[in-house]
Every structure is written in C-alpha cells, then in structure tokens.
Amino acid sequence: MLANSEARRAAVPNLFSCKDRYSHNFLFRGPELGGGVKLTLLFKASIHGFTGAAFHQRCDTRGPSVSVGYNSSGYVFGGYTTAPFCQSGQFVKDSKAFLFTFKGDKLLKYPTTSSGYAVKMISNCGPYFGEALVLMNGGAAVTYSNPGNYYTFPTAEMHGNDLQLIECEVYQVEETTELEDPWRVVAWDSQRRKELMDSVSKYEPLSSAVSQVRVLLVGPVGAGKSSFFNSINSVFRGYVTSQAMAGCSATSLTTQFRTYTVKAGRNGKPLPFVLCDTMGLEDSTGAGLDIEDINSVLKGHMPDCYQFNSATPLHSESQGYRKSPELKDKIHCVVYVLDSCKISIMPDKLEAKLSAVRRKANLLGIPQLALVTKVDEACPLVKDDLTNVYKSGYIKDLLQEASAHLGLPVSCVLPLKNYSEELELQLPVDILLLSALQQMLRFADNYFDDLSDRFNFSKIDK
C-alpha cells in the first residue's frame, strides 16, 4: 500500500519516468512498448470532468493509451490498451492489454486472460477493461472492480478496496522520433559557454537612462519562473544555489512582485539585467495574478516586494505606487514560461489570460519570448542526453504548439531545463540557460531601437 502522496510519486517512475504524476506528459518505460515512447495527456478528470462524455470527447479514436486512476488511500492503478476508444458498446480484441498497480515501489502487471474481451467501449463510462476494472463507472468518480472477468488480480493489492477516485488520467502512447539533423544548431562545448557568459556580462543597454534591462517572467503556477532566476544565478555563481522560493505547489509560491539582480560571482558586480518575478497565472477566475497588475508592472508602476492581492489589483493610491515611472522602471522584455508537460492541456481560461498579457505588451511595444521548461521530463531522448533537445521531433512539436497557444513565432520559443535536483552545474544546462538570456537581452535592444525610431532620436534620455 502507498500510504501518502509522496510515496505514490516515488512509485510512479516505475511506470513513468517523470518524477511528478501531475506533470502530464509521462514517458513509458514498459518492455511491451520498447521503452522509447512518450505519453501525452488526453484527459484529466479534475480538469475535464468525471464523466463518460468528457472522457470520450477527448479520447475516442486515440490509441494506444494508458489510463491511470488515483484514490485517497494512495493507490495508483489502471490499464494499457493498444485499441483506440470508441462508443460502440462492444468488446474489442487486444492481446497486449494489461492492468497494473504498485506494491511499495514495485510495479505489478496483470495481462488480459482473454484477448477478445480486453476492452469494452461503453459511452457513459471511463476506461473499461474487460468487465474487471472500470475507471469512472457510470460517469461517476468511482472504480468498478470485478476480477476474474478477463483479468485476474487481488483487489486489496490493486486498489486497497478503495473504489473512490480522486483523479483519472488517460495518456496517448506514441513513439519518440530522433531527427537525423538538429533543427537548430548549437555548439555544446565550454568555449560556447564562455562566449555566452562574456556576451551577457559585457552587455550594455542601448539607452543611457537604463543600466539594467528589466525582463518580466510570466506564466502558470509551477512552470519554473522562480527556478529560472535560481538557475541563472547558479550559472554566474559557479555552483547550484537557490535564492528565490521555488518548488511544487498547486498555488503560486511567489506572492510578491520581486526583482532579482544577478552578480558576476559571489562578490562580483551586478550584471546588466534584472529578472522580475510575478505570482503565477491560474486558470480559475479571481485566482492567481490579476491581469491589471501585469499592466502596472509593464508600465513601471509596481514597487519591488509589492504583495499581490487577487481580489484587489494595484491602484494609484496603493502604498509604493510609482506614479511617474522612468524608462529604467518599465519592462523591456516579456518572457512567458510554460511547462512542457502541460502545454497539451492548457485550460482555455489560462490561454485567455496569456493572450490578455500579450495584447497589453503589444500595445506598449514590448518584445516577447517564451521558454518551454522541463524538456528533459517531456522526452526520453532529451532525458538521456540534453544535447538531443534540437534532435527531438517531439520537442520541436511542443515548441510549435506553444507558439500556436501564445501567437509567437517559433523562433521566439526556446526549450529550457532549470536546475532542480542537481548539485553541480552541467554544461548543456548552462548553454540552454545562457542562450535564452542572451536572446532576452537582444530583444530588449529591439525595444530601445523601437523607441528610438518612434521618437526620432538616437539615444533615449528619459
């Protein structure tokens, strides 16, 4: 039995390679599939609804698939089938179908005992394996369990006789592809790392009124905004460190508007950029960062350490409100930070909030980039070797999907891995981080150039 959520998460990697079962795009490592495949989330009941209709709307005609149930007793269980789902009301044949659960950290599998009755296609239920295990039975958040009907398993071992579901997820299984040639060419060596560090360290803003470029990080809760600052800080400190609060949480760990300066070494001078961290965007109304607060940040009205309040955005009478911001107080580049494992199921309300931010930045003439984080968790090729990031067809597809969600050109979308569990710096991680930072500084130059063109003077003095 898995006694708590931490134990569940520790067991999940036996079936999936991602550390966190909420990461949404898992990598299947089972021998039935050869180990070189990815899983893309199609359906998540807590988001899409505990109904057969919602399940079929998102999962019909999609296969092969892995269906996963979670109960409050800590069990993680489900089934795999190569058959695409439908609503025919009939059994379908699948000799490769199996059920699974965990015993401690050990994965247990139960193959079908009758391949002709492996999966039944019922319209008002979730995944229906034989007549032995059904997730979301009758469109409710419950499990139907009747071993011996084309699958054999001990019920106590499978789910601890706890039939109430707290979550149900369905993932499509696809083979990963390694491209013959990288679609972006990168030199993965120490010389390139040094060139990037020198480029950033020696950068000077085009405006004499600005000593440090201000880059605003915007994105959903848990995407890696604070972790990006910590990672950049680590690169220039020479060792992995953590200054900004970062971690795994359903709500934003960042509750204040924070501006972070990075120094060149432990006692070095401040580098010519400031990373501005915000409260995470959430998909529910009235939660997370308020869009009006984003407007205040972009225009330079918001003071450092301002405490965000989802119910009441910053206004002109708020304490610390900067009524006449100078150019150095404004944002010069906006960077959207997205979790690669969650792009495929981005909620409509979250996408609408990101679009609202983009519109406000566009009106102010602020250039924008996007970072797609956790690429090592999204693709096994990249997990094995980060330098494969531009040889992964899946990562390329993810960046194109992020581009479509945000309305940005693919050239403005960059893959990234933050430092999370490492204790020492790694060359490929540093190169991706520094390449992203270099692009931000280049985009800030575009901002100053645009101001110069619009106001028809060569140097911006205000």
**CATH label of the domain that carries residue 398:** 3.40.50.300
pLDDT digit string (tens) for 162-193? 999 999 999 888 776 778 889 999 999 999 99
Give domain status of residue 460, yes or no: no
Q: Are residues 225 and 297 in the same domain?
A: yes
Q: Give the dihedral of Cα atoms 395, 400, 403, 408; nearest 10 deg.
A: 110
Q: Are residues 202 and 281 in the same domain?
A: yes
285 has pLDDT over 80: no
Residues composing the chain? 462
Report which residue type is found at 208.
Answer: S
Q: Are residues 282 and 378 in the same domain?
A: yes
Q: Are residues 294 and 418 in the same domain?
A: yes
pLDDT digit string (tens) for 396-449? 989 999 999 999 999 999 999 999 889 999 999 999 999 999 999 999 999 999
Domain finish residue from 175, 198, 221: 175
Cβ neighbour number for residue 155 with a 10 Å cutoff: 15
Q: Are residues 344 and 448 in the same domain?
A: yes
Q: Is the CB of residue 142 less than 8 Å from the CB of residue 165?
A: yes
Quick one: pLDDT at residue 310?
66
Quick one: pLDDT at residue 180?
81
Give domain status of residue 239, yes or no: yes
Domain hosting 322: range is 190-455
Q: Are residues 212 and 156 in the same domain?
A: no
Domain count, the chain: 2
* Mean local confidence (pLDDT), 44-59: 93
Q: What is the pTM of this model?
A: 0.71
CA distance 390 to 370: 16
Domain finish residue from 175, 210, 228: 175
Q: Are residues 55 and 96 in the same domain?
A: yes
Give domain status of residue 462, yes or no: no
Q: Are residues 253 and 338 in the same domain?
A: yes
Q: Are residues 227 and 153 in the same domain?
A: no
